[in-house]
Structure 1
């Protein structure tokens, strides 16, 4: 809860405490019933001037003076706190937070991104550009807010190593998780927790130290990515094969930066299963050329038109999100 929210809560508590003191005071000093004492307290604090419920004793009048002075201060503080709560956007943020939580509860087959530091920020941009549904988890609300320049993202402020936070992110319904926290030990904890909650989840983790990769694999990560190694390979490629690097960069920036190399796996009942590649008419229906076909760790690069498609084949193509959607629709057609 932010400062304005805490001030508003304090004001409400002070008001309730003043009401209780007023009721108790009139009951003890004047012997009134609870209803009469409450009525007198309310009209005194509200300064509406309806007059005394019953004639007051001297002690009762002194108590009323003190109650009025205290009540005016409490009400003034409450109005100030309530105004700040609305003006500073806390109320709007609260409504937006509840709306976001409702959207998160509807997620299915999504990605959970844990950590939005330097690495996580670029991952969020990539997922957003390619229209992949995802939810961000980070314990720094300011970092989450800084992602607004990317667009409106679903997010949860909390510790990704905690079961309840991952469950709020619907880990049981997710298809994948990315552990991109700045420390390897934190990523190990995230992987362990996520794997225990969802054994079928595909988990990819960032790894900084080379000694962390086998530990992450034992913890349950399906794949690890060493950011120092990837950076070093990119630097070498810029010198050795600059045209290829330039092509890939252009591809990433083309059409709003949404063109990617993607894969679509053929399900058992797909109408493409059993057909030759030329009979599948993939190019005619989607505008895509199949660059390679993979199954497990075996790949057929530049497959011929006579290649026969089988269940479980992964079609690897270079496409936009719209073309990918058309290919997926074609592949799952039964």
Structure 2
């Protein structure tokens, strides 16, 4: 614990002076323990080689070789006749070599058992894996909601990184089989860079403390302003009341979920229409069904812009149905008729087989009508 505390204090000082995203400074800090045995080993080899050259007129190569086999006590014997003074020197070199070897082994064992070098290597490997991610989500604060969201993201093959500052988080993350995780203070810039936030698709913060969510949202928007001003992050969070939800939206959250409201709506739906729950479970929340629903954005250059719904013939092309259109200004058209015009930057709510939905975006993003 004392070594871990000293390491954290050292890292804090280093982070204040220079960013250490991949823990290079931390690794150098731990490797400093090997400097003494390395220097002593080099000096012993140097003194031994010079001794054989001066005492018994060995060549440089023979002196280095004789010093090496004597220093390591491998027992190959003498490569050339050695004088009595040279033998006394050899005995001294053997004793010194044994002492240096014992010291080196003791330091290695001590660092391996009491130090943080193994932990640093594991974290560095994780950081380099995270650095290769793109369009991933960053989940902050471990709780029941985060665990469930991580499970759903994994089932849908969406990459994600989980970050939590609490002690024992790394062990818990391994138990939950999270592919990417970091134990760090979420609102710090160094943690955001280590999570590769610059290439992330969005952020989900679900702390039970409203202050944590507020601090994180503000920090992410500041990070965004400096490193990605033209491509805002999607920030999703939760709130305990509508007043808190409004506050979080004003601070920069894109979506604020009210768990109590969602639970009440679900229970009310089940109470009024019991069969509707089975429908939701089958079509929206189950991964076994072949049917899914997805919202598809219509870019300005798309060939479907200013086309009538019945003319684009998505049902004929892909056997999918458009059950709703969300206009650019925010209005929603449920169950649009065939004469409805599709406008630029609107969102089409499409339902169909998962295989067909994957091709909808490709067709909508084309500039020319497919044959």
Q: TM-score, normalised by structure 1?
A: 0.75
Equivalent residue, structure 1, for 2:18: none
Higher deviation after alignment, 302-311 or 171-180: 171-180
Equivalent residue, structure 1, for 2:22: none
Listed one character per residue, the Cα deviations across residues 102-160 of structure 1 (whole Å, up to 9, x for unaligned) are 522xx1x4433223421112222222333444433334222332342xxx734444332
- Pick from 29, 37, 40 the counterpart of residue 18 of structure 1: 37
Equivalent residue, structure 2, for 1:289: 321
Paired residues of 1:273 and 1:311 also in contact (CA < 8 A): yes
Shift of 1:224: 1.1
Paired residues of 1:206 and 1:224 also in contact (CA < 8 A): yes
Residues 219, 178 of structure 1: CA spacing in aligned structure 2 closer, same or farther, 3 A cutoff? same
Paired residues of 1:293 and 1:313 also in contact (CA < 8 A): yes
Q: Following superposition of structure 1 onto structure 2, how do residues 104-119 of structure 1 map, counting pairs within 5 Å?
A: 104=133, 107=134, 109-119=135-145
Equivalent residue, structure 2, for 1:141: 170
Q: TM-score, normalised by structure 2?
A: 0.68
* d(CA) in 2 for partners of 1:300, 1:329: 23
Shift of 1:204: 1.2
* d(CA) in 2 for partners of 1:29, 1:265: 75
Runs of 5+ unmatched residues, structure 2: 8-26, 54-59, 113-117, 226-231
Q: Following superposition of structure 1 onto structure 2, how do residues 195-214 of structure 1 map, counting pairs within 5 Å?
A: 195-199=221-225, 200-208=232-240, 211-214=243-246
Verify: 1:97 aligned to 2:126, yes or no: yes
Verify: 1:225 aligned to 2:257, yes or no: yes
* d(CA) in 1 for partners of 2:110, 2:240: 49
The two structures, once aligned, show a CA RMSD in angstroms of 4.4
- Pick from 72, 93, 101 the counterpart of residue 71 of structure 1: 101
Give the number of aligned pairs. 318
SS of the counterpart of 2:236?
strand
Residues 163, 99 of structure 1: CA spacing in aligned structure 2 closer, same or farther, 3 A cutoff? closer
Paired residues of 1:259 and 1:319 also in contact (CA < 8 A): yes
Equivalent residue, structure 1, for 2:152: 126
Listed one character per residue, the Cα deviations across residues 212-235 of structure 1 (whole Å, up to 9, x for unaligned) are 323322321122112233223323
Paired residues of 2:137 and 2:204 also in contact (CA < 8 A): yes
Equivalent residue, structure 1, for 2:56: none
Residues 63, 228 of structure 1: CA spacing in aligned structure 2 closer, same or farther, 3 A cutoff? farther
Shift of 1:90: 8.0
Shift of 1:94: 7.2
* d(CA) in 2 for partners of 1:219, 1:193: 10
Shift of 1:294: 0.9
Residues 11, 269 of structure 1: CA spacing in aligned structure 2 closer, same or farther, 3 A cutoff? closer
Verify: 1:314 aligned to 2:347, yes or no: yes
* d(CA) in 2 for partners of 1:15, 1:302: 71
Runs of 5+ unmatched residues, structure 1: 83-88
* d(CA) in 2 for partners of 1:257, 1:116: 29
Higher deviation after alignment, 273-282 or 115-124: 115-124
Paired residues of 2:217 and 2:252 also in contact (CA < 8 A): yes
* d(CA) in 2 for partners of 1:120, 1:16: 44
Equivalent residue, structure 1, for 2:366: 333
SS of the counterpart of 1:256?
coil
SS of the counterpart of 1:300?
strand
Shift of 1:191: 0.7
